[in-house]
Protein backbone atom coordinates (compact mmCIF):
# COMPACT_ATOMS: atom_id res chain seq x y z
CA UNK A 1 0.00 0.00 0.00
CA UNK A 2 2.89 2.33 0.81
CA UNK A 3 4.31 1.83 -2.68
CA UNK A 4 0.98 2.69 -4.29
CA UNK A 5 0.67 5.84 -2.20
CA UNK A 6 4.25 6.79 -3.05
CA UNK A 7 3.65 6.39 -6.79
CA UNK A 8 0.34 8.27 -6.62
CA UNK A 9 1.95 11.23 -4.86
CA UNK A 10 4.66 11.35 -7.51
CA UNK A 11 2.05 11.08 -10.27
CA UNK A 12 -0.02 13.92 -8.85
CA UNK A 13 3.01 16.19 -9.02
CA UNK A 14 2.87 15.90 -12.80
CA UNK A 15 -0.82 16.76 -13.30
CA UNK A 16 -0.04 20.30 -14.39
CA UNK A 17 2.90 19.26 -16.55
CA UNK A 18 0.87 17.85 -19.42
CA UNK A 19 1.72 14.20 -18.71
CA UNK A 20 -1.03 11.71 -19.43
CA UNK A 21 -2.04 10.82 -15.88
CA UNK A 22 -4.20 7.96 -17.13
CA UNK A 23 -1.13 6.12 -18.45
CA UNK A 24 0.72 6.76 -15.21
CA UNK A 25 -2.21 5.53 -13.14
CA UNK A 26 -2.45 2.39 -15.28
CA UNK A 27 1.24 1.74 -14.79
CA UNK A 28 0.99 2.26 -11.03
CA UNK A 29 -1.97 -0.13 -10.90
CA UNK A 30 -0.03 -2.74 -12.87
CA UNK A 31 2.90 -2.49 -10.49
CA UNK A 32 0.66 -2.67 -7.43
CA UNK A 33 -1.22 -5.71 -8.78
CA UNK A 34 2.07 -7.50 -9.45
CA UNK A 35 3.29 -6.63 -5.96
CA UNK A 36 0.11 -7.94 -4.34
CA UNK A 37 0.43 -11.23 -6.28
CA UNK A 38 4.05 -11.53 -5.13
CA UNK A 39 3.14 -10.88 -1.50
CA UNK A 40 0.26 -13.37 -1.65
CA UNK A 41 2.60 -16.06 -2.98
CA UNK A 42 5.30 -15.15 -0.48
CA UNK A 43 2.91 -15.32 2.47
CA UNK A 44 1.30 -18.58 1.33
CA UNK A 45 3.88 -20.68 3.16
CA UNK A 46 4.71 -20.83 6.87
CA UNK A 47 8.36 -20.17 7.58
CA UNK A 48 9.91 -22.73 9.91
CA UNK A 49 13.03 -23.82 8.02
CA UNK A 50 15.12 -20.84 6.80
CA UNK A 51 16.97 -22.98 4.22
CA UNK A 52 13.66 -23.36 2.35
CA UNK A 53 13.53 -19.61 1.66
CA UNK A 54 15.25 -17.34 -0.85
CA UNK A 55 15.25 -13.61 -1.59
CA UNK A 56 14.29 -12.13 -4.94
CA UNK A 57 14.89 -8.52 -6.04
CA UNK A 58 11.77 -6.50 -6.82
CA UNK A 59 11.12 -2.99 -8.06
CA UNK A 60 13.60 -0.85 -9.92
CA UNK A 61 15.46 2.22 -8.71
CA UNK A 62 15.78 5.01 -11.24
CA UNK A 63 19.58 4.72 -11.09
CA UNK A 64 19.32 0.99 -11.65
CA UNK A 65 19.10 -2.07 -9.48
CA UNK A 66 16.27 -3.35 -7.32
CA UNK A 67 14.42 -1.19 -4.83
CA UNK A 68 14.05 -4.06 -2.34
CA UNK A 69 13.87 -7.82 -1.91
CA UNK A 70 11.01 -10.18 -1.16
CA UNK A 71 11.34 -13.61 0.47
CA UNK A 72 9.79 -16.68 -1.12
CA UNK A 73 9.60 -20.32 -0.20
CA UNK A 74 11.05 -22.94 -2.51
CA UNK A 75 7.79 -24.86 -1.90
CA UNK A 76 5.68 -22.42 -3.94
CA UNK A 77 5.46 -22.22 -7.73
CA UNK A 78 8.89 -20.60 -8.03
CA UNK A 79 8.69 -20.24 -11.80
CA UNK A 80 5.54 -18.13 -11.43
CA UNK A 81 7.00 -16.12 -8.53
CA UNK A 82 10.24 -15.36 -10.37
CA UNK A 83 8.32 -14.40 -13.52
CA UNK A 84 6.11 -12.01 -11.52
CA UNK A 85 9.19 -10.51 -9.84
CA UNK A 86 10.81 -9.97 -13.24
CA UNK A 87 7.63 -8.32 -14.53
CA UNK A 88 7.53 -6.12 -11.40
CA UNK A 89 11.10 -4.96 -12.02
CA UNK A 90 10.39 -4.26 -15.70
CA UNK A 91 7.14 -2.38 -15.05
CA UNK A 92 8.80 -0.34 -12.29
CA UNK A 93 11.55 0.66 -14.72
CA UNK A 94 8.91 1.68 -17.29
CA UNK A 95 7.21 3.88 -14.68
CA UNK A 96 10.54 5.48 -13.75
CA UNK A 97 11.19 6.22 -17.42
CA UNK A 98 7.65 7.54 -18.02
CA UNK A 99 7.92 9.96 -15.13
CA UNK A 100 11.58 10.86 -15.41
CA UNK A 101 12.10 9.70 -11.83
CA UNK A 102 15.41 9.97 -10.11
CA UNK A 103 16.64 8.28 -6.97
CA UNK A 104 19.61 7.90 -4.75
CA UNK A 105 22.09 5.68 -6.46
CA UNK A 106 22.85 3.64 -3.37
CA UNK A 107 23.14 -0.09 -3.82
CA UNK A 108 20.46 -2.23 -2.16
CA UNK A 109 22.31 -5.43 -1.32
CA UNK A 110 20.58 -8.77 -1.04
CA UNK A 111 20.15 -10.06 2.49
CA UNK A 112 23.00 -12.13 3.88
CA UNK A 113 20.59 -14.74 5.18
CA UNK A 114 16.99 -15.46 6.01
CA UNK A 115 15.59 -16.46 9.40
CA UNK A 116 12.10 -17.47 10.47
CA UNK A 117 10.33 -15.44 13.13
CA UNK A 118 6.73 -16.17 14.16
CA UNK A 119 6.21 -18.12 10.95
CA UNK A 120 7.41 -15.35 8.67
CA UNK A 121 10.74 -14.96 6.88
CA UNK A 122 12.94 -12.05 7.93
CA UNK A 123 16.11 -10.79 6.29
CA UNK A 124 19.31 -10.59 8.28
CA UNK A 125 22.55 -8.86 7.37
CA UNK A 126 25.80 -9.68 9.07
Confidence of residue 47 (pLDDT cuts 50, 70, 90): very high
pLDDT tens digits along 57-109: 999 998 889 999 999 999 999 999 999 999 999 999 999 888 788 887 888 89
Looking at the chain, the whole-number percentage of residues with pLDDT higher than 90 is 63
Residue 118: Cβ within 10 Å count? 7
6 secondary structure, DSSP code: H
Residue 58: Cβ within 10 Å count? 23
pLDDT the model gives residue 19: 52
For range 12-27, the mean pLDDT? 64
How would you classify the pairing of strands 120-124 and 113-117?
A: antiparallel
Question: What's this model's pTM, rounded to 2 decimal places?
Answer: 0.79
Where in the chain are the domains? 2-124
Mean pLDDT, all residues of the chain: 87
Side-chain-side CA neighbours of residue 31 (13 Å): 26
Amino acid sequence: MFRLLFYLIIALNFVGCGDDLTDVEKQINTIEELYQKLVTLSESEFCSIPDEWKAEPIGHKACGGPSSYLAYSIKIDTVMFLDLAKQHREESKILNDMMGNFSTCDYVPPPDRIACYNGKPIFLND
